[in-house]
Structure 1
């Protein structure tokens, strides 16, 4: 086979899929004027196989046509397959996302099959769940070809799924958080999925009704009665989405209706193309006496807290205001400050420098309490219910949660932590999820898990997790900064420079602009503009527009609540 020509064809495909502004006018697929849709959607047109095409041309044409397949339900792509292969192939079983900087590479096997490989950024399952790939991961697939009755080459055997460049994936698929209820039903919890932009509304509602992802299911609930289904596709007209549900939803109480309508609305207004949601059942509007104001990210306007001269303090206009008397913490040599969510009479937690003792600090009573001790405790995190999370770093299959002022901690079971070393923990703002950073055999592994709680918010277990941050080699610190996103301080490859990353739970990682002075600690409030870090010189720097500025000097730690 003519390998040079095959790679030339694939290079054209790669350029098109990368969405470059200088697009070629020929080849198997080309960009056309965008259709009248929202969010800058692009259109692609695939061409059917040419008469007399060689096996390598058939494979290259198929790759281009399948990348454009969301527009025509993969009808043109199937023309490159034999009849049996066309009927058996499931393109949406897996979307394989590869870097814009790489071209698809081919080789011919002894059997005559054509093998195609490229680096992998991530994969998307048929349920809309995105999984990142490790830095060295590759995607490899084989195509076996045969001549059809007309003597033309067609693909006779192939794996389910199709390829998309990272740019084209971002254009054709939309980030779609599904919203479920926290354990106490006071907030909404995001479960991030990805769906084709043109059908996202219908697929998102169906997934919402089906329930949360496995890793999240133990920590959240839903107001939809069992058996509730979507009767037909969601229609969107002039910014109004109409959702027609089955009659099972009528069994919901008035209170439940308000909450399920809140779940639906939050899920569907992820795109600017939807501003209003109308729900019907058998042609009649489904209404509720009231719709509760359920926050997707319950986080207020909190001041930044720091450790200044070993004393917990809040920052205002570049000055540190101690929240407790200096003599209360004298000699404790505190580090690893965590801050509670109270607006007044705040609770703080911190470790001793050697990591052997955990303290709670209550500003209202000007008191310090020793909560627990150990050989090497995890830096604490405080949740919205007031529980202070820590425990031995050498995983015992559990972590420990304390209430301020009480040394009677409770064991929160997590069998998946047995035998690993915990290096960080961060509970989400609404208290339903937790991020645990671990050292497993010398490798950094980051897990997201849901928290099982009772009606009063008392935690009992961490459910089976999902692994995230596969593209990071090390993680120094992590903080929540939105309903779906973390800010992470770490490295993307062994030996590389430490940087800041936006890490969605269930989405592609993104490098953020890092300050010129390296930071050792990172914290965040509501978004990227609230990120703050502490340098080795004890300077807290924070984001201000696209730049960084000094917030305060002579501190050893900085933290927002959580």
Structure 2
């Protein structure tokens, strides 16, 4: 124990162990106004049922109108309570305490996380004296306050966890991840355990940003049977989910897809093992049973039983396959086809999800070609040609989505375009991009496996940021499909600049970027922009490109200017693989 040194005041909501629980303490008799404000801010961070203790700091009217579930305001650190500029006089009729901080995100009523560039947050808490219980004295209570919860980032991460809800891509038969946040333990408002919270969030429907491109197979209005707050598996790892009458008459095929949505969604709850779900009517009769194996039919990337292969372009522009799975670094091997023979030297490459084809941008950045990598044939005509004068203004690295469509950006400043080649074989079509204005440049793009989201590195006014765009497909004139990328959202607003990005699963990205005044880092970021304290990967210098597998069975691969192509297996450090090479990629 220290026996000397200064005494310093600290707040209870400093960063700490995620397993720490905060228990709310009710206001003491005769508490001063500043104690009331401090006690209420602390009580908001607890798991108290119904936030009952926090409401004791409020007047009766404020306790009835305060809705903590309406929104969450996330601050970088615990909110600072500034001193009231009014004297704390027991005869005073009111007091106002400013509450300030740096806001980094909000969470709406549908549990969707929305990051923002750190901005000043300023609200106020207003107090008035009210009669105490015996009517003989006065107690200070809060009568006006910000709606919802105001939490520090550490308190938010302690109390909430990220999960993926799953819905079907519009017009398709595969699922799309929709990340949201639920309580780690019992929800104070609904009294639901994490499993019931997760099912409830799924049944409420997709988040506002994603709902234009996905559909739920649950009938509108479907909810858990009234009164259900706990869901637990039986000894066969089967979860029985009783629904209300809105789902009572669904057919077998629709029910199978409902079960698949549940199984994909519940897979993120590692604290519970669920092998199958049984959907039930409100009277307890069975609607259908679905297993994890059956749900895989609707995955955007089908389980192949083996780890994904990595590919790269060697110093001669040849497409090589890179063995990454073993403990020892293996020797790369050239693929079949013209790309593997060096007949069409490459600058960058993308490999289709089934690893049968590759799309390569020529060494001068001017042409995009597609070729088989499992059979030999002559080079085919270019699918896209850029007319930009400078090589750096020509084609970006390409990307395949799970539909088999091929994407590339033409960075010609005179005619910037985002292009898609249907099935990698058709005629390239220009994607509608209302946000791609003069002065905005697409440095790189990566399309998700489900084909409804695209990660974009956009350079505006010399700063490159990471944004996630929504891919919308609509019928146009003559029956042709019109493709648009709309409503791009900042996914890493706290990074001053982003230099590389890769998908690393259904809703996760691995990103290379720099915070303001900081050093370059490689880290995981959710597509909703949220991060965790454990998301930063070991340091690596001068990273130019990065690639991650769809699952965790293969290592992250990167191209470092100083170390060449390196890999990072789980629990290890970066390991050199190839000294001279570029464009390391996994399928997609």
Shorter-chain TM range is 0.7 to 0.9
Match of 2:577 in 1: 551
Q: CA deviation at 1:284?
A: 0.9
Q: CA deviation at 1:73?
A: 1.1
Instruction: Find the aligned partners of 2:150 and 2:587 in 1 and give their Cα distance.
Output: 42
Match of 1:228 in 2: 222
Q: CA deviation at 1:485?
A: 0.6
Instruction: Find the aligned partners of 1:264 and 1:177 in 2 and give their Cα distance.
Output: 11
Instruction: Find the aligned partners of 1:326 and 1:173 in 2 and give their Cα distance.
Output: 48
**What secondary structure is seen at the aligned counterpart in 2 of 1:265?**
helix
- Whether 2:162 is the aligned partner of 1:139: answer no
2:555 to 530, 534, 547: 530
Confirm or deny: 8 A CA contact 2:395 2:408 kept in the other structure: yes
Cα-to-partner distance string for 1:285-307 (whole Å, 9 max, x where unaligned)? 22158844232654653321111
166-175 vs 386-395, greater mean Cα deviation? 386-395
- Whether 2:365 is the aligned partner of 1:335: answer no
Cα distance, 1:326–1:242 mapped onto 2, change above 3 Å: closer
Instruction: Find the aligned partners of 1:170 and 1:497 in 2 and give their Cα distance.
Output: 24
260-269 vs 280-289, greater mean Cα deviation? 280-289
2:23 to 45, 62, 85: 45
**What secondary structure is seen at the aligned counterpart in 1 of 2:12?**
helix
- Whether 2:73 is the aligned partner of 1:96: answer yes
Match of 2:421 in 1: 402
- 1:173-212 equivalence runs, <5 A: 173-183=160-170, 185-197=172-184, 198=186, 199=192, 200-212=194-206
Cα distance, 1:418–1:255 mapped onto 2, change above 3 Å: farther
Match of 1:265 in 2: 263
Match of 1:387 in 2: 405
1:310 to 293, 317, 328: 317
- Whether 2:513 is the aligned partner of 1:473: answer no
TM-score of the superposition, structure 2-length normalised?
0.81
Q: CA deviation at 1:88?
A: 1.7
Q: CA deviation at 1:180?
A: 0.8
- Whether 2:34 is the aligned partner of 1:56: answer yes
Confirm or deny: 8 A CA contact 2:409 2:444 kept in the other structure: no
- What is the number of residues matched between the two proteins? 527
**What secondary structure is seen at the aligned counterpart in 2 of 1:60?**
helix
Confirm or deny: 8 A CA contact 1:538 1:553 kept in the other structure: yes
Uncovered stretches (5+) of structure 2, i.e. residues with no partner:
1-6, 87-93, 132-136, 187-191, 324-329, 389-393
Instruction: Find the aligned partners of 1:324 and 1:63 in 2 and give their Cα distance.
Output: 64
1:498 to 520, 524, 529: 520
Cα distance, 1:516–1:275 mapped onto 2, change above 3 Å: closer
**What secondary structure is seen at the aligned counterpart in 2 of 1:474?**
strand
Instruction: Find the aligned partners of 2:335 and 2:416 in 1 and give their Cα distance.
Output: 37
Instruction: Find the aligned partners of 2:290 and 2:105 in 1 and give their Cα distance.
Output: 44
Q: CA deviation at 1:243?
A: 2.2
Instruction: Find the aligned partners of 1:223 and 1:307 in 2 and give their Cα distance.
Output: 43
Match of 2:368 in 1: 358
Q: CA deviation at 1:126?
A: 2.0
Match of 1:154 in 2: 141
Cα-to-partner distance string for 1:219-264 (whole Å, 9 max, x where unaligned)? 3222222332322234223566442212332343221111111111
Q: CA deviation at 1:52?
A: 2.0
**What secondary structure is seen at the aligned counterpart in 1 of 2:502?**
strand
- Whether 2:507 is the aligned partner of 1:513: answer no
**What secondary structure is seen at the aligned counterpart in 2 of 1:133?**
strand
Q: CA deviation at 1:328?
A: 6.5
262-271 vs 227-236, greater mean Cα deviation? 227-236
Confirm or deny: 8 A CA contact 1:477 1:522 kept in the other structure: yes
Cα distance, 1:418–1:202 mapped onto 2, change above 3 Å: farther
**What secondary structure is seen at the aligned counterpart in 1 of 2:435?**
helix
Cα distance, 1:299–1:490 mapped onto 2, change above 3 Å: farther
Match of 2:12 in 1: 13
Q: CA deviation at 1:61?
A: 0.8
Instruction: Find the aligned partners of 1:133 and 1:214 in 2 and give their Cα distance.
Output: 17
Confirm or deny: 8 A CA contact 2:102 2:120 kept in the other structure: yes
Q: CA deviation at 1:184?
A: 5.6
Cα-to-partner distance string for 1:395-437 (whole Å, 9 max, x where unaligned)? 9796211147757211222323344321221111232321122
TM-score of the superposition, structure 1-length normalised?
0.85
RMSD, aligned α-carbons: 3.1
Q: CA deviation at 1:339?
A: 1.3
Match of 1:560 in 2: 586
304-313 vs 466-475, greater mean Cα deviation? 466-475
Instruction: Find the aligned partners of 1:128 and 1:275 in 2 and give their Cα distance.
Output: 24
Cα distance, 1:505–1:109 mapped onto 2, change above 3 Å: farther
